Amino acid sequence: MGEFPPFPAAARAAGEAVCGAPIELTEISYRRGAAVWKAAGPEGAVAVKVGDDEGAAVTQREAAVLKAIGWPDYLLASGEGEEAGAAWLVTRWFTGPSTGQVFAPVRRDMDGKAGALSASVDLCRAVADLHASGWIHSDLQPAHGIHTDHGVRLLDLSWSWRRGLEPTSDFRGGLTHLVAPELAAAINIGIQPVTPSAAAEVYALAGTLWTCITGRWPLDYAAAGIDPVQLTPANLRTHIAGRRVPLDTASPWPAFQDILRPVLLGRTGDRPTAAELAESLAKVAM
């Protein structure tokens, strides 16, 4: 992960105001210029994200999204760090497994299917609620839904967008392995700014669930004779946009994957809404 950036004094003060003092910091991740800590004190825990250099603008945008979205009990504080070019935000710490973690027993030995299925329905409904409120998350992945006792909380809203909010010119479709073909094409053509869509998000949602089941990305790169690690994201998007990579044929949970497959292979306009996907999954027989 590399050495974490300095922890801003103002973020510490904000954390202590919520959690009590002293707070203990646990390093969670540090990627692409954004560091995340869990800060825990006698009265609770928060997540602190600090964006330095390339991550500063992205972290600043996430704070702006969280302010605009106005979820109660989510964003607690944000600011421009005292370190030049840094930005930080403090959010409530959400306790519970990610969608990917809920599926761990399924991937291991097809255990825990009922829990995984109901978590999937919950995730789809959370995305449906988000879409109903006019927002697109734009970076769904197995780690970005946390299943708490009080429902699903979505994380990492750096790229989230609603009509009327300035789309960001840096948006590259979220995780490349889960980008919808039409979005991959729009990005590669160089249309700017690229606006996310609910239909592309449903593709990412289905791809997320597929990956949760199989532990592999939905597309079978080896079958297409390509190694995604050797390709630039733009090259990978060219393959995805051209639908040159077949869907993985591994099918450990046919009844579930039979619902996801048409979402991943079908035309954009034929995709279900997130709410419809939730209803289809709710009917999967155990």
Ligand X SMILES: Nc1ncnc2c1ncn2[C@@H]1O[C@H](COP(=O)(O)OP(=O)(O)OP(=O)(O)O)[C@@H](O)[C@H]1O
Would you tell me which residues interact with ligand X (CB under 6 A)? 28-29, 31-32, 34, 36, 47, 49, 91-94, 143, 146, 155-156, 158
Q: Which residue is nearest to Mg ion (CB)?
A: 156
The residue among 59 and 120 lying less far from ligand X, judged by its C-beta, is 59
CA distances from 225 to 186, 215, 233 (A): 24, 20, 16
| Residues 178-237 contacting Mg ion, CB under 5 A | none
Least distance from C-beta 190 to Mg ion, angstroms? 26
Two structure tokens written together for 27: 């390093």
The residue among 135 and 159 lying less far from Mg ion, judged by its C-beta, is 159
Least distance from C-beta 246 to ligand X, angstroms? 26
Task: Give the count of beta carbons closer than 10 Å to the beta carbon of residue 213.
Answer: 22
What region does 27 belong to: left with phi over 0, alpha with psi -120 to 50, or beta? beta
Least distance from C-beta 123 to ligand X, angstroms? 14
Query: In the set 52, 156, 201, 248, which binds Mg ion (CB under 5 A)?
Result: 156
Burial class (CB in 10 A: 0-12, 13-18, 19+), 31: exposed
Binding status of residue 62 toward Mg ion by CB under 5 A:
no
Least distance from C-beta 229 to ligand X, angstroms? 17
Least distance from C-beta 67 to Mg ion, angstroms? 19
Using the rule CB under 5 A, give the single segment among 44-52, 151-159, 198-206, 219-227 that binds Mg ion. Answer: 151-159
Using the rule CB under 5 A, give the single segment among 4-12, 73-81, 125-133, 148-156 that binds Mg ion. Answer: 148-156
Least distance from C-beta 155 to ligand X, angstroms? 5
The residue among 157 and 206 lying less far from ligand X, judged by its C-beta, is 157
Query: Which does residue 130 bind out of ligand X, Mg ion, none, counting CB within 5 to 8 angstroms by kind?
Result: none
Burial class (CB in 10 A: 0-12, 13-18, 19+), 202: buried
The residue among 58 and 247 lying less far from ligand X, judged by its C-beta, is 58
Query: Which does residue 275 bind out of ligand X, Mg ion, none, counting CB within 5 to 8 angstroms by kind?
Result: none
Query: Which does residue 28 bind out of ligand X, Mg ion, none, counting CB within 5 to 8 angstroms by kind?
Result: ligand X
Least distance from C-beta 29 to ligand X, angstroms? 4
The residue among 116 and 146 lying less far from ligand X, judged by its C-beta, is 146
> d(Cα 33, Cα 53) in Å, to the nearest integer?
6
Give the strand pairing for 75-80 and 87-92: antiparallel
Residue numbers at the binding site for Mg ion (CB under 5 A):
156
